[in-house]
Chain A
Amino acid sequence: MNYLVNNFDVVAELFLQHLQLTLAVIFFSLLIGIPLGLLLARISWLRGPVMSVLGIIYTIPSLSFFVLLIPIFGLGTRPAIIALTAYAQLLLIRNWLVGLTTIEPAVLEAAQGMGLSGFQRFWQIEFPLALPMLLAGIRLVALSSIGIGTIAAYINAGGLGVLLFQGVITANFDKIFTGALAVTVLSFAANYFIRYLEQKAELRIYGKRI
């Protein structure tokens, strides 16, 4: 624990870097995943091929994925964000798609029959009803990005992985322990915060679960 006490500002900065990286990944994966998921919900024959491609991307080992991107995007956070966003698509879109496709057909038919436009149907009906599943997807993305993001320190993306790598190289157990502890705290915090939002979204639709 000595390391944490003596280098609190260093750890805090790395913690913030890690948080930033995770938030950036969530932001970019939503930017791609929400429209792509919506497209898959509308055009069902696209689901198989697209989900297979996302599944294949997900199986690329993270370290090699980061290294592969270096020639194109150089070192630093950029390749890290790109790789993590690519991984995130499978987790995000699978959940989002489940959310969208399990809405009761009668609800959508009623909305259509009442004269809601395509956008109104999406924004007023589909989005709030699929929101709990979307948030569950975001939670998975956050947790996996926090985890895999530690490895991104290897390509100079910063974050709490720095402590782990340095600790391993210098055989500084205190440093490793501090890094691991910080990652765990971040994961737990992210999990509880997003789970809280999920429950709020669920409560609006289903009411109190008995």
Chain B
Amino acid sequence: MPNEMVSSSTETNNTPSCESGQIVFERVSKTFATNIIPAVDQVSVKIPAGDLVVLLGPSGCGKTTLLKMVNRLYEPDSGEIWMCGKEIHTLPVNELRRQIGYVIQQVGLFPHMTIQKNISIVPHLLGWEEKRINDRLEMLMELIGLPASYLPRYPRQLSGGEQQRVGLARALAADPEILLMDEPFAAVDAINRERLQFELIDLHSKLKKTILFVTHDVEEAFRLAKRIIVMRAGKLVQYGTPLELVTQPANDFIKELVGSSNILRKLSLVNVNSILRAKENQSLDVSSSQQVARNSAVLRPEDDLRSVVSLLLCSGQESLPVKDSEDHLLGTVGYADLRGMLIANLPSE
């Protein structure tokens, strides 16, 4: 047995992981001692395994509090949180935390440790063998796109964006099923933020981790999320896909959030992937047989619908093909889809 472990690949097989990364909140409430109003008020929500779910809301809405109750940095006053079929409070707290990757805005890299030591700290705690840790390090550095020559460096020698990438690698080190991210890109400059966002989308599609991502940035939320949980004053206001939030806002707060009267703004919030998924759900033919003109513009799943409109206008076509980064055709999106899915469904003012 031990020999097998040494020779095993970077893929983990004896991590105390669970079969699924589903998180379920059941009537979770939390009131801080310094406050009368609850920070989180009776929130019940189910996070499907493998989804990237964004907690969105203004500051003080309780989104960070909800997040930190998953790795028990805060304890709920009432309610239950289930992970992989276990209520999280039945596990020893540090064992639970080692199963959950945690990324925060200020990164919090350990300044006296090299990048290598920073990343490998949880695998060491879990008693991994050196060989396995080194394989994992190599794989993670490739994943976050930093050269292996960075491993002996110290955090202070890295730029802010690079530090946040290392923070992500550190959170992923022990191959957790669940990743908690608390405004991880808020302190990064705009150009790097966008790059990191697309890297995260890419990474999520490769790794299929359950990611719970906190932000107050509407664009960021819609860009990243498969589903969005909108919170306000400790309460869950709406839980749905970006497309659902835009087309069926639950109340005025959501309408204002997505820009009720501004169609272009709404288009900018929804991406091509949402449309493809919605077409799938309505069992429409995703890869419609429409002839794709040669040399025509190509859409990417992460493109927002506003750029789709401009590409459609420029190309003069009725629809355009969607291809992934490896040039596989994923389907087509055109005026008909936009009209059908989005604009027709917009609530009348």
Contacts and interface: CB of A to CB of B under 8 A. Distances in A.
A207 interface: yes
A60 B313 CA distance: 86
A104 B106 contact: yes
Given A106-B106, A106-B107, A207-B156, A116 B94 contact: yes
Interface in A108-135: 108-117, 120, 124-125, 128-129
A45 interface: no
A107 to B, nearest CB: 5
Contact of A204 (B96, B106, B109, B112): B112
Contacts of B105: 106
Contact of A207 (B93, B98, B121, B157): B157
B326 interface: no
Contacts of A109: 73, 104, 108
Interface in A67-121: 104, 106-117, 120
A113 B110 contact: no
A207 B112 CA distance: 9
A121 to B, nearest CB: 10
Nearest to B101: A114
B155 to A, nearest CB: 10
A70 B205 CA distance: 76
Given A115-B125, A206-B156, A110 B108 contact: yes
A204 B155 CA distance: 11
A110 to B, nearest CB: 3
B116 to A, nearest CB: 15
Interface residues of B, number: 29
B206 to A, nearest CB: 23
A76 B117 CA distance: 49
B154 interface: yes
Interface in B277-301: none
B243 to A, nearest CB: 33
B309 to A, nearest CB: 41
B102 interface: yes
B97 interface: yes
Contacts of B73: 109, 112-113
Contacts of A113: 71, 73, 97, 100, 102, 104, 180
Contacts of A107: 108-111
Chain A residues touching B, majority SS? helix
Nearest to B117: A124
B272 interface: no
Given A206-B156, A207-B156, A111 B106 contact: no
Interface in A163-210: 204-207
Interface string B156-172: 11000000000100110
A125 B98 CA distance: 17
B110 A125 contact: yes
Contact of B97 (A108, A114, A207): A114
B53 interface: no
B95 interface: yes
Nearest to A207: B156
B140 interface: no
A115 B98 contact: yes
A205 B97 CA distance: 26
Nearest to A117: B94
B102 A114 contact: yes
A205 B112 CA distance: 4
Among A115, A128, A207, max chain B CB count under 10 A is at A115
Contacts of B40: none
B95 A115 contact: yes
Contacts of A115: 93-98, 122, 125
Nearest to A108: B108
A129 B94 CA distance: 22
Of A110, A111, A114, A117, chain B has the most CB atoms within 10 Å of the CB of A114
Contacts of A128: 112
Contacts of B125: 114-116, 120
A205 B95 contact: no
A111 B94 contact: no
Contacts of B102: 110, 113-114
B98 A114 contact: yes
A23 B16 CA distance: 48
Contacts of B111: 104, 107, 129, 205-206
Contacts of B107: 106, 110
30 contacts: A104-B108, A106-B104, A108-B108, A109-B73, A109-B108, A110-B104, A110-B109, A112-B73, A112-B97, A113-B102, A114-B122, A114-B170, A114-B171, A115-B93, A115-B95, A115-B96, A115-B98, A115-B122, A115-B125, A116-B94, A116-B121, A117-B94, A124-B110, A124-B121, A125-B110, A128-B112, A129-B112, A206-B156, A207-B154, A207-B157
Given A114-B121, A114-B122, A124-B110, 4 more contacts: A111-B110, A113-B71, A115-B96, A206-B156
Interface of A: 104, 106-117, 120, 124-125, 128-129, 204-207
Interface of B: 71, 73, 93-98, 100, 102, 104-112, 121-122, 125, 154, 156-157, 167, 170-171, 180
